[in-house]
């Protein structure tokens, strides 16, 4: 049996996909594992977009938060509690279609189309105009980091 933590590839690139009346969208072909495998959907901490992550990435979040020793234990636990209570599991079908929970669509104003952008071990789901604003706002900072990293 294949290790489910290794089924999803590195998420890179971006795609614009329709969001139908049932809040379904499609994972890009290159991002799909061979068999439908669950993802966890949760709002990003700043509520600008949704994070979609395989189980291994999702399960790693509490340990990463607990490693932030500059925060007190109550702050760390509050974040973990909220993060976990917001998360919902979805399982794409064989064609990569999955339903974005309606409460997330309402919260972020998702309708008509969404942008899926790769973010290494997870991908993000954006309202198209919010993604464009993110790119515009962060491009300068990304260039600076890229120069320092010689990328």
Q: HEC states along 126-142?
A: ECHHHHHHHHHHHHHHH
**E strand or H helix at 24:** strand 24-26
In CATH terms, 4-149 corresponds, of 3.40.630.30, 3.90.320.10, 3.90.1310.10, 3.40.1550.20, to: 3.40.1550.20
Cβ contact 50:40 at 8 Å:
no
Residues near 69 by beta carbon (within 8 Å), at least 6 away in sequence: none
Any idea what the Cα angle at residue 6 is, between residues 135 and 124, rounded to 5°? 20
Counting residues of the chain whose pLDDT is more than 70, the rounded percentage is 93
Per-residue model confidence as pLDDT tens digits over 43-53 = 999 989 999 99
Residue-averaged pLDDT of the chain? 91
The structural domains of the chain, with segments of one domain joined by +, span 4-149
Residue 40 has a pLDDT of 98
Residue 43 has a pLDDT of 96
């Amino acid at each position: 049996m294949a290790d489910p933590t290794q089924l999803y590839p590195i998420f890179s690139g971006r795609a614009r996909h329709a969001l139908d009346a049932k809040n379904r969208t499609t994972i890009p072909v290159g991002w799909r594992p061979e068999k439908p495998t669950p993802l966890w959907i949760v709002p990003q901490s700043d509520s600008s977009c949704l994070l979609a992550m395989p189980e291994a990435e999702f399960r790693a979040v509490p340990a990463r938060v607990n490693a932030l020793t500059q925060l007190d234990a109550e702050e760390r636990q509050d974040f973990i509690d909220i993060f976990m209570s917001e998360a919902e599991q979805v399982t794409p079908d064989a064609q990569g279609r999955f339903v974005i929970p309606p409460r997330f669509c309402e919260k972020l104003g998702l309708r008509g189309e969404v942008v899926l952008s790769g973010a290494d071990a997870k991908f993000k789901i954006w309202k198209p105009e919010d993604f464009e604003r993110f790119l515009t706002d962060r491009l300068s900072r990304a260039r600076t980091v890229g120069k320092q990293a010689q990328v």
